[in-house]
Every structure is written in structure tokens, then in C-alpha cells.
Structure 1
Amino acid sequence: MSAPETAPEATDDPPATGSSTGTGTGTAYDAHFRVWRGDIEGGELTDFTVEVNEGEVVLDIIHRIQATQAPDLAVRWNCKAGKCGSCSAEINGRPRLLCMTRMSVFSRTDTITVTPLRAFPVVRDLVTDVGYNYAKAREVPAFVPPEGLGPGEYRMRQEDVGRSQEFRKCIECFLCQDTCHVVRDHEENKRPFAGPRFLMRVAELDMHPLDAAEDEGLDRKSAAQEEHGLGYCNITKCCTEVCPEGIRITDNALIPLKERAADRKYDPLVWLGNKIRRRTT
């Protein structure tokens, strides 16, 4: 795929006021969209002039383009409520959900450029192959139930529940994976690096007080570093900035996981304590 062009990033400026250039209702106007059309072999940005009405989001406009000008335009979407993560794309170069980006954040004179997620192969138009993410998900060992406890017998402190609950808000939109420059700019890193979404999953399991992974010989901290590429992350916080659920991926998951992994590997007291514990169990 040839790299699609991008326009300057959108601002939160209110739409320009003045007479409508659309239907004459005073609220509708005509906007200039540039939408990437093509497939894995290549493509280009196509210009559209399309009506925008009050309260609409970018996904509404993409649907209107489909209905009136480009019926073969491919776009992935499902819930239109910001909860399924399907309609991920890049709007003026920034990874966003099409259904959660209101047209009111743009000026009426802006050219709005919509392109597919740059980190993943294009299937067609705005639809990308995000199979990389599901492959990485399968590489993270699941929660290990504690021995001797059955369903309904788990007990946790509320603070531990709250800490991991933040990470469970993830809607699998993969915007964090797309914006992570380790994945986005270096194709060769996709094999050794899980990306922020799945390092966050490792962190969630590692801090879970009932996870009995170590009893089964699984060291999640070491696995994060040696198998999932934790060291590739240089905590730029770009993943946190694009998360539509407001999860503090870097501060609450990746940095603490890095600290615990470093302690496990380099702190002599932690190393000695682990050795003693293994001998006594």
C-alpha cells in the first residue's frame, strides 16, 4: 500500500458560523472530504463534496458518501456507539473512531481526510487486516485459576478489582496498536513485539491477586520482557492519547509492568527472595 496523504490534525475549534452552503436550513452545509480508495496493491485519495447536518459524526458522512456517490466504498462498522471498536480509521492523520468523531470539531472550511489504519495491511478502502492483533492475543497465556477455589468462591479487595477493571474497558479498537511507532514504523517489529494493547493484558494478569500463573511455572513479568517485547516500548504515551475509553495504558499498565520486570531481573534482593521461595515450595 502506498502511504496515503494526510491533512493537518483536527482541532477542537467550533465550526465556522455564517450562511449555509448546503440545503439552506441554516444548519446543513457542504463539506470537503478526501477518502482513501484502493487495496493492498495501492490507491489514492478521492475527493467528495458531501452534505453535513447538525449533530453528525464522521461515520454518518462516510455512509452518506456510500449512499449518494460511492456505493462500493468499503468501511467496517457495527455498533455506532463507540463500544465495538470496528470503525477505527485515521482522520486527518490521527487514529480515531469514525463513530465518535463529531463533525462539530472541524471548521466548515476544513478538508477532512479519512485514511485506513496505517500500521496494518489494507484489504480495501478503509478496511484493514488487523489479524496481527488477534495473533498476539493468542500468545498471551490466559488467567490461571487458583487451586482449590471453585466458581463463585473468588474473593478480592475492591481496590484490586478497580485497578484491573480499568483495563477491561478496552473495546479492541486497536488504535493504540496503530499509533504505536514501534509497530507503525517498523514492520520487522511485529514478530517480537505484542504492542500496548496486549502488554496491558499481561500487566492486568500480572497484578491480579488471584492469578496462579507462577504456581504453574509461568513468570508473566519475564514473559513480558522476553516473549512480548516489553523493552521495545519507550513510554511515549501515544497509545494513551488515542484511547477512546480513556485508559491510562502507559501510566497504569506499561510503566508498572516495566518496573516489576526490572525488579525481577536486576534487583538482587528480589532475585534472592525468589530463589528462597522456590526452595521452600
Structure 2
Amino acid sequence: MSQTASTGYDAHLRVWRGDAEAGDLADFTVEVNEGEVVLDVIHRLQATQAPDLAVRWNCKAGKCGSCSAEIDGRPRLMCMTRMSLFDPAQTITITPLRTFPVVRDLVTDVEFNYEKAREIPAFVPPEDLGPGEYRMRQEDVERSQEFRKCIECFLCQDVCHVVRDHEENKEAFAGPRFLMRMAELDMHPLDDAERAGLDRKRAVREDHGLGYCNITKCCTEVCPESIKITDNALIPMKERAADRAYDPLVWLGNKIRRRGRGD
């Protein structure tokens, strides 16, 4: 793709139209002005040619994650994808997120992601600390702060081939966004999960499908917040989960502790 400036020209779009039952790509020619993004052009298409076109959006500032779609096959935020990325002569194809069921046109049902979010036990506050008493090293703050930048656009969920190409995996696999959430909780120095009877390393491996992830880094590549999901969350979580499950010294220590409790 060239960096040709997009000023005062007509763009050729192929936009998916349809619903859960059926649909197809429709061709449109839409005016483009300098500095515009794909969402601007989609809004102009609604205003001038297709008033019934369904598209989800909210902030138009790359922070709500609502306008996720696939542009020429790549998951992107429409509000953060500049038309100047594309050659004015090329046809731009805009389709809904492939991994989730279509509601209508560019809108998909992302309930799968909220179901996975509900399955993750929340942060467990330390019992011996009250409000205002939490203290953390700055490096621990910075490490988890990266993951907190997530806007839940679900582009990483959409591109992950574990569920994108294998619908049958959805029940057992949380996806990169929520594996990252569990990694964040496990890294948190004040998370008192054990007091609540939670073993996050076991759960991420046995209940949320961490082993399905084969670290292709496709989730990192599409993240609009540039979060290093694979390198900073998934790989470290895999290492810690493997240590807990297979390290002979850890196994022996757990065995001794269970005997000490009379288990």
C-alpha cells in the first residue's frame, strides 16, 4: 500500500451487506476528503447512498473499540485507519469481524467475549490492608499498566486463529484478551487469590485453554494500543503455568504442604 495523500477523490469500496441468514459484498463509490479515516467514508456512505447500513461506533477517537471491522482482510479500528494508507485507485473491502456471528452488515455479536470475561475471578484484595494502604513497586505498576490500556476492541480475539478457524474451540479457549487479563492478575503483587482458594496458574491452563495458544503473535500485530500481548503476557504466563504443573521441585513442595495440612 502506498502513502499517497487522499484529497478530493472518489474511493471504490466493497462493503459487506447482509445479516445472520445471508449477505454479500456490495460495490460503492464514495467521496474522500483529505485527512479522513475509513469511518468518515462509511458515515458518508450512510448519509448519501445506504442509510440502512448498520455500523457500530462511539468515540471516533480509538478509545472505545466499537468500530472494529476487517479492512482488506485485516482486523482494524475504522476510526484509526486513514484513507491515505490506500492507493486511491484500489478497491477497499470492508467486512465484519469474521470470528463472531453477524448481526447485520458490519455489526457482529461479540457476546462470546463478555461470557469469557465473566468466567475470570476478579482481583482479590489483601485481607490485612485497608483503603489507601496498598503499596506496589513502580516496576509492578508499569508492568500491569500496559495491559490496562486494552480498549476491548476484540481485534486480538478476532484474529486469533484458535477460534477464528476452529469454532469448536470457543468453549475451552478464553482468547488472548482474557488470557492477558489472567496474566495481569497473576502478576499483581497484591492479588490474594490463594486466600480465596483460587489457583490462577492452574485455572488458566485447565479452564481457559492457555495451551491452545501457540504464540504466533498475530494478536500483538493487530492491537491498536500496541500492547505486547504475546511477549509480555502470554509467554510469561505459559512459563509460570508450566513451572507450577511440571517442575519437580514445585511438585514436591506442594506434596509436602498437603501432607503438613493432613490432606
| TM-score class normalised by the smaller sequence | over 0.9
Structure 2 residue corresponding to 1:15, chosen from 4, 27, 32: 4
Q: In the alignment, which residue of structure 1 is the partner of 2:184?
A: 204
Matched, 1:253 2:253: no
Unaligned runs of 5+ in 2: none
Q: In the alignment, which residue of structure 2 is the partner of 1:263?
A: 243
Structure 1 residue corresponding to 2:38, chosen from 52, 58, 70: 58
C-alpha displacement of 1:271: 1.9
In the alignment, the residues of structure 2 paired with residue 94 and residue 244 of structure 1 have an alpha-carbon distance, to the nearest angstrom, of 12
C-alpha displacement of 1:177: 0.2
In the alignment, the residues of structure 2 paired with residue 254 and residue 239 of structure 1 have an alpha-carbon distance, to the nearest angstrom, of 11
C-alpha displacement of 1:274: 3.4
Matched, 1:117 2:97: yes
Matched, 1:89 2:78: no
In the alignment, the residues of structure 1 paired with residue 202 and residue 5 of structure 2 have an alpha-carbon distance, to the nearest angstrom, of 53
Contact 1:16 1:109 in 2 (8 A): no
Report the TM-score when normalising by structure 1: 0.91
Structure 1 residue corresponding to 2:110, chosen from 119, 122, 130: 130
Q: In the alignment, which residue of structure 2 is the partner of 1:76?
A: 56
Contact 2:5 2:84 in 1 (8 A): no
Report the TM-score when normalising by structure 2: 0.97
Question: For residue 259 of structure 1, what is the amino acid of its counterpart?
Answer: E
Structure 1 residue corresponding to 2:12, chosen from 20, 23, 32: 32
Matched, 1:163 2:152: no
C-alpha displacement of 1:272: 2.2
Q: In the alignment, which residue of structure 1 is the partner of 2:193?
A: 213
C-alpha displacement of 1:273: 2.8
In the alignment, the residues of structure 2 paired with residue 43 and residue 216 of structure 1 have an alpha-carbon distance, to the nearest angstrom, of 49
Question: For residue 15 of structure 2, what is the amino acid of its counterpart?
Answer: V
In the alignment, the residues of structure 1 paired with residue 187 and residue 260 of structure 2 have an alpha-carbon distance, to the nearest angstrom, of 23
Question: For residue 122 of structure 1, what is the amino acid of its counterpart?
Answer: V
Question: For residue 122 of structure 2, what is the amino acid of its counterpart?
Answer: A
Number of residue pairs aligned between Structure 1 and Structure 2: 261
3-state SS of paired residue (1:235): coil
Contact 1:221 1:261 in 2 (8 A): yes
Contact 1:74 1:125 in 2 (8 A): yes
In the alignment, the residues of structure 2 paired with residue 164 and residue 214 of structure 1 have an alpha-carbon distance, to the nearest angstrom, of 20
Relative to structure 1, is the Cα distance of residues 243 and 64 closer, same or farther in structure 2, using a 3 angstrom cutoff? same
Contact 1:167 1:247 in 2 (8 A): yes
3-state SS of paired residue (2:44): helix
Matched, 1:103 2:92: no
C-alpha displacement of 1:280: 6.3
In the alignment, the residues of structure 1 paired with residue 167 and residue 96 of structure 2 have an alpha-carbon distance, to the nearest angstrom, of 16
3-state SS of paired residue (2:127): coil
In the alignment, the residues of structure 2 paired with residue 278 and residue 166 of structure 1 have an alpha-carbon distance, to the nearest angstrom, of 36
Q: In the alignment, which residue of structure 2 is the partner of 1:241?
A: 221
Which deviates more from structure 2 when the two are superposed, residues 135-144 or residues 213-222? 213-222
C-alpha displacement of 1:216: 1.7
Question: For residue 118 of structure 2, what is the amino acid of its counterpart?
Answer: R
Q: What value does the CA root-mean-square deviation take over the aligned residues?
A: 1.3
Question: For residue 117 of structure 1, what is the amino acid of its counterpart?
Answer: L
Deviations 1:1-55 (A, max 9, x none): xxxxxxxxxx3x21279xxxxxxxxx30001000000000010000000100000
In the alignment, the residues of structure 2 paired with residue 254 and residue 278 of structure 1 have an alpha-carbon distance, to the nearest angstrom, of 29
Contact 2:96 2:105 in 1 (8 A): yes
Structure 1 residue corresponding to 2:159, chosen from 155, 170, 179: 179
List structure 1 runs of 4+ shifted beyond 6 angstroms. Answer: none
Percent identical: 83
In the alignment, the residues of structure 1 paired with residue 207 and residue 34 of structure 2 have an alpha-carbon distance, to the nearest angstrom, of 49
3-state SS of paired residue (2:162): helix
Question: For residue 49 of structure 1, what is the amino acid of its counterpart?
Answer: T
In the alignment, the residues of structure 2 paired with residue 72 and residue 130 of structure 1 have an alpha-carbon distance, to the nearest angstrom, of 21
